[in-house]
Amino acid sequence: MSKHTEYVNELIAFYLDTVIDELETNPSSRETLLQTYETYRILHSPKPTYRQFITDNALDEEWWHARLRLLQLLGSNQPATSSYDVPSILSRLQPYVQELVPEMIILNGRQGRHQEALRLLVHGLGDFDTAISYCLYGGSSIFRPSGSGYVPQSELPTQAEQSRLFNCLLQEFLRLDDLAQRIEQTGELLKRFGGWFELGDVLAIVPDEWSVDVFSWFLIQALRQLVREKSESLIVKALSDAQNSVTSGELVEKRGEVGPTFERVS
């Protein structure tokens, strides 16, 4: 372990100690955290990410700032920072899974438990923008301050992985308790990121009683893509047929030049 990695892990342990000590000794601080989730969930869109929300409304207390720093370190995609002991941290957070939801989201992402991470983002926080970022950039990029750097191309999920994550997110949006919110978030997701979905998969899970207006944009784009792919298939077939015709013509011409051949019968 490099000196820098060791230092970062010591920082994580320090901030974690500060936050857990506060939650163990002051029930009011636990209530404060729970209240931030309730307040954030009822905000109307467009709203800031949860990370931005708790930063803008930070308490002037040491444990609050320690938690912000802890989230930044846990969610960082830097090699020195991302090598911390996930199982050890999870065991320490276990008594506070209700109070430390973002931390659990990050750690679930580190373990590849993406469905659980997205479930917590959608239903535990109601942070829909961060859920989308999770699908696009991977779980290691969330809960960092804005402007803290880009995610290298080599660390981004593949398009197939992004598609799988977006499909998980669609399922979570369809489980939202509030019908208006369910329709709004589903429609917006399909409109903005329809290219990551297969038409048949979407039609199979979207409720039959919903108006087609909810996902009309997605349907139009998906049908256009199907028409485009059909046209391209026909063009390829026509080119292939033309090539075969040219080849056949050249073969007939060559045979004409060579003339007939005779096989001697013994």
**60 vs 256: CA distance, rounded Å:** 94
Cα 117 from chain centroid?
A: 10
What's the mean per-residue pLDDT of the chain? 83
pLDDT band at 151; cut points 50, 70, 90: low
> Where are the domains positioned within the chain?
3-157
What integer pLDDT is reported at residue 115 of this predicted model? 94
pLDDT at position 69 = 93
**For residue 252, which amino acid is it?**
V
* Cβ-based burial of 149 (10 A; exposed 0-12, middle 13-18, buried ≥19): exposed
pLDDT value, residue 221: 77
Specify the range with the lowest mean pLDDT, choosing from 106-115, 149-158, 159-168, 171-180: 149-158
CB-based contacts of 12-19 (< 8 A; 24+ apart in sequence): 12/70, 12/73, 12/74, 12/84, 12/89, 14/66, 15/66, 15/67, 15/69, 15/70, 15/73, 16/70, 16/89, 16/92, 18/62, 18/63, 18/66, 18/67, 19/63, 19/66, 19/67, 19/70, 19/100
How large is the average pLDDT for residues 38-49? Answer: 91
**Is-contact 142 112, C-beta < 8 A?**
no
* pLDDT at 81 exceeding the cut of 80: no
